[in-house]
Amino acid sequence: MENFDSRTVLNVANVEIPGRVFLAPMAGITDLPYRRICRAHGAAYAVAEMVASQAQLRTSRKSQERFNLKGEQAPRGIQLLGCFSQDLADSARYAAECGAQIIDLNCGCPAKKVCSVASGAALLANEDLVKELLEAMVSSVSGPVTLKYRTGTDEAHINAVRIAKMAESVGVQMLTLHGRTRAQAFRGEAEYETIRQVKQAVGIPVIANGDIGSGAKALQVLQETGADGVLIGRAAMGNPWIFEEISAALDGRRYVPPSKKAVIDVIAEHTEAHLSFYGSERGLKTIRKHISWYFKRLDLCTDYLKRLYEENTPSGLQQALVRILEDELPDSESAMAGVLFPLEPKPHLPHHEESKDEKTGVD
């Protein structure tokens, strides 16, 4: 089996990405604290979640949280959402001032609230507008602009290759392609043939995305598409170790799953970082979804969650959380491996869900 070297450096214009396994932007999930955790476990790049480009939304709490790259490891990126070139150009400049080295345009979000204002995946139906938006962004910042998009509007309108060529011609420096159409949203299976065609059509890095949740799948997608890297979304919910697993598979190394202690340490560290980023009042609520994903991954009874949700102080939550994990997780390494990476997909993974944030769009 071919090795791909997970640490191959990808050059995105003047920015070096130190590997080919990336964390996908997921609104309301891949915030600054979680990106840091995923990078520590092997994600070579983690762009910030989509942020609205309209000037009047820039100072909202949510936008400010998403423009916040304080302490974020390089390479730093911010993803913008919008359909007006002036807004996107201004926002791109603002994102660069906030420390973003790479500015990404979202042409992939299928959420109604986003598409109904002609943004996200709705843009795929208007290639001229996408060109105008990308040109405006490219000319507004000195660093690279990238595009994250889907294969097309629907099965009858697959235009990913045309958009790729156009994007490259206006100076876009990397493409990330989710192998589904806007109409599919998250249904059905991602296809990789269009990603292969895009890779053949352009000279800039192409990152494959969609339904990649194991080392074997990442290898298969890289082999099938010739893509330069993979972007991992839902498989990273409650599972930052996925980056280590995929990296090991690409390098042809044996994957060593985390010990019980390492798992507990990561969940406790994530919880602490989350609470300090959002403040305890909000953070105690918003950390719940992450804890529930960890528990689902670890096959822990969700009855414990109710008990945790009753905790109303950070220290109470942390202590109760660590106690449950200490008591309930198996001690042996092989048992931990079986828990984190079962052979069959876990029954209750959030695979076809959109978060509240995705449904409602931004702000």
Ligand X SMILES: Cc1cc2nc3c(=O)[nH]c(=O)nc-3n(C[C@H](O)[C@H](O)[C@H](O)COP(=O)(O)O)c2cc1C
Residue among 79 and 140 whose Cβ is closer to ligand X: 79
Q: Which residue has the tokens 């931990």?
A: 336
Q: DSSP characters for 233-293?
A: -GGGTT-TTHHHHHHHHHHTPPP-PPPHHHHHHHHHHHHHHHHHHH-HHHHHHHHHHHHHH
Shortest spacing between CB 52 and ligand X, in angstroms: 11
The yes or no reply on residue 101 touching ligand X (CB under 6 A) is no
Residue among 52 and 324 whose Cβ is closer to ligand X: 52
Which residue's CB comes closest to ligand X?
233
**Beta bridge mates, 151:** none
The interface region with ligand X, picked from 103-111, 197-205, 262-270, 317-325 by CB under 6 A, is 103-111
Query: How much of the chain is helix, strand and coil, in % rounded to 5?
Result: 45, 15, 40
Question: Is 185 annotated as contributing to ligand binding?
Answer: no
Residue among 106 and 194 whose Cβ is closer to ligand X: 106
Query: Pairing mode, if any, of strands 77-81 and 48-52?
Result: parallel
Residue among 168 and 358 whose Cβ is closer to ligand X: 358
- Annotated active-site residue in 107, 109, 115, 301: 109
Residue among 209 and 239 whose Cβ is closer to ligand X: 209
The interface region with ligand X, picked from 18-26, 83-91, 161-169, 341-349 by CB under 6 A, is 18-26
Query: Pairing mode, if any, of strands 45-46 and 206-209?
Result: unpaired
The yes or no reply on residue 26 touching ligand X (CB under 6 A) is yes
Q: Contact at 8 Å (CB) between 119 and 106?
A: yes
The yes or no reply on residue 109 touching ligand X (CB under 6 A) is yes
Residue among 78 and 329 whose Cβ is closer to ligand X: 78
Question: Is 233 annotated as contributing to ligand binding?
Answer: yes
Q: At what angle do helices 215-225 and 242-251 cross, to 10 degrees?
A: 50
Residue among 25 and 314 whose Cβ is closer to ligand X: 25
The yes or no reply on residue 124 touching ligand X (CB under 6 A) is no
Which of 79, 101, 151, 292 is the binder for ligand X (CB under 6 A)?
Answer: 79
The yes or no reply on residue 106 touching ligand X (CB under 6 A) is yes
The yes or no reply on residue 29 touching ligand X (CB under 6 A) is yes
Give the three-state DSSP class for 12. strand
Query: Pairing mode, if any, of strands 10-12 and 15-17?
Result: antiparallel
Which of 234, 260, 270, 274 is the binder for ligand X (CB under 6 A)?
Answer: 234
| Residues 32-61 interacting with ligand X (rule: CB under 6 A) | 49-50
Shortest spacing between CB 339 and ligand X, in angstroms: 21
Which of 19, 25, 75, 238 is the binder for ligand X (CB under 6 A)?
Answer: 25
Q: Contact at 8 Å (CB) between 229 and 10?
A: yes
Question: Is 131 annotated as contributing to ligand binding?
Answer: no
To the query of whether residue 107 is one of the catalytic residues in this protein, the response is: no
The yes or no reply on residue 100 touching ligand X (CB under 6 A) is no
Question: Is 148 annotated as contributing to ligand binding?
Answer: yes
The yes or no reply on residue 24 touching ligand X (CB under 6 A) is yes
Residues 229, 62, 349: CA angle, nearest 5 degrees:
50
Q: Determine how many CB atoms are found less than 10 A away from the CB of residue 145.
A: 28
Q: Please enumerate in sequence order all residues whose Cβ is within 8 A of that of 279, keeping only pairs 6 or more positions apart, or say none.
A: none
Q: Phi and psi dihedrals of 325, rounded to 5?
A: -65, -45
| Gap between the Cα atoms of 214 and 218, Å rounded | 6
Question: Is 48 annotated as contributing to ligand binding?
Answer: no
Closest CA to 45 of 207, 266, 202: 207
| Residues 150-189 interacting with ligand X (rule: CB under 6 A) | 178
| Gap between the Cα atoms of 231 and 337, Å rounded | 23
Question: Is 27 annotated as contributing to ligand binding?
Answer: yes
Per the annotation, where are the binding residues for FMN?
Answer: 25-27, 79, 148, 178, 233-234
Which positions lie near ligand X, rule CB under 6 A?
24-27, 29, 49-50, 79, 106, 108-109, 148, 178, 209-212, 232-235, 354-355, 358
Per the annotation, where are the binding residues?
Answer: 25-27, 79, 148, 178, 233-234
Residues with a catalytic annotation lie at 109
